[in-house]
Amino acid sequence: MIKLIDLLNEVGEGTSKPYEWEEISADDWGAYIRFLTDSETEYQVNLEYFTSNLPLTPDLPGMAVEFLAKPKGEYDFSNTVVVNKGEVYRVMSTIANIIKYYLKDNKIITYSPEKKSGEDFGKQRDNLYKAFMKKSIPSIKFEQKGETIWAIIL
């Protein structure tokens, strides 16, 4: 039986074991990574490298992060699919592991959390993403610009 305290520890401590992942391709512009969950949902993580042109972070290197899911039996990947297979903590742990691996000299991570029906901004998903990133990179600071979150590593 899973206890509430165990769930809180997984988010707060980031203790979920990441899935094994594979780099599909990588170059100076970005990387594409895939992994498969226990329920056979396939995830693709897309990283695109950039240099910031914002006044707050001029000329800092960064990477935009997008991840998509393709449940078993589906044809295409989507960033709006709701999987709900009880694997969210391992999926997020895997994505955090991938980001840390590719972070290198990048000082900015950008992402846009998907919205649930009726939301103006994906606040629930954003809170989950932030919890995992704060655990992985304690010196991170967050700024919201429209629907995009800028995670700046101090």
Order of all β-strands in the sheet with 21-27: 21-27, 30-36, 42-51, 61-70, 108-111, 148-153, 140-145
Chain segment 18-32, per-residue pLDDT in tens: 999 999 999 999 999
- Give the pLDDT confidence score for residue 55 in this predicted structure: 81
Count of CB atoms situated within 10 Å of the CB of 58: 9
50-108 confidence digits (pLDDT tens): 999 888 788 999 999 999 999 988 889 887 777 767 888 899 999 999 999 999 889 99
Distance CA 66, CA 47 (A): 7
Q: Locate the domains of the chain by residue range.
A: 17-153
What CATH number labels 17-153? 3.40.630
* Confidence label for 154 from pLDDT (cuts 50, 70 and 90): confident
Q: What is the pLDDT averaged over residues 107-115?
A: 89
> Looking at residue 128, what is its pLDDT?
86
Q: Has this prediction a pTM greater than 0.85?
A: no
CB–CB of 52/58 below 8 Å? yes
Average pLDDT value for residue range 25-40: 96
